[in-house]
Structure 1
């Protein structure tokens, strides 16, 4: 009974170990992804810092590095917590195996002592022949066979448990070495984080010397973004108007056909309720079965849409933000990425608008009642009316303030959405 409990405990510990191993793999993948983003941020920072003039791209690259470094330290801490748990579980497993081994050896020693004590009392043949009848003799033969087999089985259990114990001690030793490595890695990242913060201080000091020029650059950039946003809103408004007009025409056509049918059958003409109009812009955009299906599919993928760039990190977040003490609104997010990075459609759809502004291209794709907007491309490979598929390349990322950047927006009808809640982590 005691052995059964020990076996059940060991099985449970093994299942826990598998769960932790899976979680550790996920954390390791996340840490590796963060390291790639940190390296990309450093590359962009070096590129931005090569110019004498301070740029918003340089400030954003430093901020991104600090944030990514903090995320990496947090991930390392999570890895260490997992590892501490594994060390605790593996230590318990070692102790249980030692206890199980001691019980097995004790039981086996008892059997050996019993056999030794009774070896000279009678031999096996006499024990069998002393039986009262054939049935009892047969049972005694089976008993002797089973006793011998049980001894062999106990010896095998002992050897197996010793091997398990040896293996588990190796695993525990690896756990302890891994924790030591993680502690060194964490300390290394903290040192680099301090360096990043020192760089940020230097940049902010530099900012105070170039404040006037920096303010002018920021003001110009905000004006340009406002102009682009107006064009995007106008393009969305045109799509809504066109969808509403089409829906109204289809409604009128249905009324006309119903009236003609009633006349042909000598029935009263159906009462028309003026033209049936969609109640909202969203209804107009999803008024056809195809558009409704596409809208539903887009919405079903909330939180799992691919990033518009394969490599990159967000430096500008959705909503209100402060630049040089002034508050502004951002209708999407800004990615810093690698130079000439391929820009990808995040979902199936149709290219609604392609326009050029300030030497850069802007692409809007319609997905039923949803729109995705890709800003600041240096080149495009699609045209208005083209059908695109998920992850299809639509152009290449441009540069802003000396670093490769891509602006990305999602709208439901005319309402801007936070892209971070739609994209896969």
Structure 2
């Protein structure tokens, strides 16, 4: 009797189904982690931007806050939909596998029952002995003995296979029940999130209607705000170029270079900074990124561009600012009609902390990771507490989100 190919096929099918199940399970975990991230972000947004609606925020700030909240809520809906769709595919696959297993079990049990009947009819020791003694020669007798053993083993294997498939069927039914409950919960959660989104979209439309009545004035304010940001960024760029020139001159190198010439100690510090890419702590203990890095349209007038050389983090009043890595305070920048800026050098990297109200450090101070360097400024008229944070490699800006943990 040759049953090995059948068992190999069954094993391969089982291995394949386990691999697919594992990959789907990994995908579900990944999606759930993202869903949790967006849910936590919404909680932070509500706590930091919407906790006190009595404060007189400007229309522009309200629109910015609401736009941010809506974008996060849309991401949450998208991820939840992806989860529900994946669960639907898993449920369908499980149902198909259950049907297939039931059919296999039916066939196996019928085959096994047939074997038991045949075995019962020829189970007497006498009939087996007669079967062996009636052989024409020793070779045939040996083959018949092997056949009896194989038949007994096969019967045992079939019994084990039925038991294994029955257990697998029970597991699949349990999984199916859990998956259906999970999907029902996701669908219900998403309904509530969509309902809240509809409320926010109506609120957004009302705010934008108020802005459109005097759009030219708000557009002018947005352009003026960007000019103010550009003025501060230009001054930071100039100071970084000057720091590179002074550092390189001290090292006896060309002053026109746009890159720092590093001492062995500064090289080691830069390497440590680089090795922590994506793992740096946030510059504030609690916060949400309200404005991201790079060029983006203004939420008020999409013809106006916002060019952000770093990120803007909304946080709580009185929040302390922390150095994100070991380094040396290279500059405390005080610009007329703007709040102070602290610049910390980490080899050929510089981290920049804008919109400070209090400064706890001075130029030349060595600082450690998470050391408090000052406080974030709170705008009295809007109630907003916003830290500007940037990362530079030599004289070029970097996206802080790729450096700071889960930003």
Range of TM-score over shorter length: 0.7 to 0.9
Match of 2:365 among 386, 390, 414: 386
Question: TM (normalized to structure 1)?
Answer: 0.78
Where in structure 2 are the equivalents of 1:295-334 lying within 5 Å? 295-299=270-274, 305-317=280-292, 318-319=294-295, 321-322=297-298, 325=301, 326-334=304-312
Distance in 1 separating the partners of 2:209 and 2:230: 29
Question: CA, structure 1 residues 86+392, in 2 after alignment: closer, same or farther (shift >3 Å)?
Answer: farther
Give the counterpart of 2:348 among 355, 363, 369: 369
In structure 2, do the counterparts of structure 1 residues 87 and 98 end up closer, same or farther at CA, with 3 Å as the change threshold?
Answer: same
Question: Partner of 2:191 in structure 1?
Answer: 187
The 2-side partners of 1:123 and 1:84 are apart by 56
Partner Cα separation in structure 2 for residue 15 and residue 303 of structure 1: 31
CA distance 1:320–1:64, change in 2 (3 Å): closer
* From 89, 110, 113, the counterpart of 1:106: 110
Instruction: Tell me the alpha carbon deviations over residues 214-233 of structure 1, each in whole angstroms, 9 at most, x when there is no partner.
Output: 67976775565455435423
Q: 1:190 to 1:320 in 2, by over 3 A?
A: closer
Q: SS where residue 399 of structure 1 aligns?
A: coil
Matches within 5 A, 1:33-112: 33-47=37-51, 49-112=53-116
Residues 249, 255 of structure 2: 8 Å contact kept: no
C-alpha RMSD of the superposition: 3.6
Q: CA deviation at 1:26?
A: 1.9
3-state SS, counterpart of residue 70 of structure 2 = helix
Q: Counterpart of 2:50 in 1: which secondary structure?
A: helix
2:331 is matched with which residue? 353
With over 3 angstroms needed to count, the CA separation of the structure-2 counterparts of 1:88 and 1:380, relative to structure 1, is farther
Judging changes above 3 Å, is the alpha-carbon distance between structure 1 residues 286 and 21 closer, same or farther for their aligned structure 2 residues? Answer: farther
CA–CA separation in structure 1 for the residues paired with 2:11 and 2:99:
13
2:262 alignment partner in structure 1: 287
What is the CA-CA distance between 1:62 and the residue it aligns to?
A: 0.8
Q: Tell me, in whole angstroms, the C-alpha distance in 2 between the residues paired with 1:220 and 1:232.
A: 19
Which is greater in Rg?
Answer: 1
Q: 1:373 to 1:193 in 2, by over 3 A?
A: same
Q: Using the TM superposition, give the Cα deviation of residue 316 of structure 1 relative to its aligned residue in structure 2, in angstroms.
A: 1.6
- Residue 386 of structure 1 deviates from its aligned partner by 3.4
Q: Distance in 2 between matches of 1:182 and 1:205?
A: 34
Q: What are the residue-to-residue correspondences of 1:134-153 with 2, within 5 Å?
A: 144=148, 147-153=151-157
Shift of 1:416: 3.0
After TM superposition, list the pairs within 5 Å mapping 1:195-344 onto structure 2.
195-207=199-211, 225-226=229-230, 228-248=232-252, 277=254, 280-282=257-259, 285-299=260-274, 305-317=280-292, 318-319=294-295, 321-322=297-298, 325=301, 326-344=304-322
For 1:391 and 1:131, how far apart are their aligned partners in 2? 89
Structure 1 position 150, deviation (Å): 3.7
How far 1:320 moved relative to its partner? 5.4
Partner Cα distance (2:164, 2:313) in 1? 56
Q: Which of 375, 389, 397 in structure 2 is aligned with 1:408?
A: 389
Larger CA deviation: 4-13 vs 110-119: 110-119
For residues 287-306 of structure 1, give each alpha carbon's deviation from its aligned partner in whole angstroms, at most 9, with x where no partner exists: 32333344455456555545
Q: Is the 8 A contact 2:63 2:300 kept in 1?
A: no
1:396 and 1:20, CA in 2 relative to 1: closer, same or farther beyond 3 A? Answer: farther
Q: Name which of structure 1's ranges 402-411 and 90-99 shifts more when overlaid on structure 2.
A: 90-99
Shift of 1:68: 0.4
Q: 1:72 offset after TM fit, Å?
A: 0.7
List alignment gaps of at least 5 residues for structure 2.
none
Q: CA deviation at 1:213?
A: 8.7
Distance across 1 between alignment mates of 2:191 and 2:266 = 53
Which residue of structure 2 aligns with residue 2 of structure 1? Answer: 6
The answer to whether the aligner puts 1:165 opposite 2:169 as a matched pair is yes
Range 157-166 or range 206-215, more displaced = 206-215
The alpha-carbon distance between structure 1 residues 395 and 53, as it changes in their structure 2 partners (threshold 3 A), is closer
Residue 389 to residue 130, structure 1, CA distance change in 2 (3 Å): farther
Is residue 44 of structure 2 the alignment partner of residue 14 of structure 1?
A: no
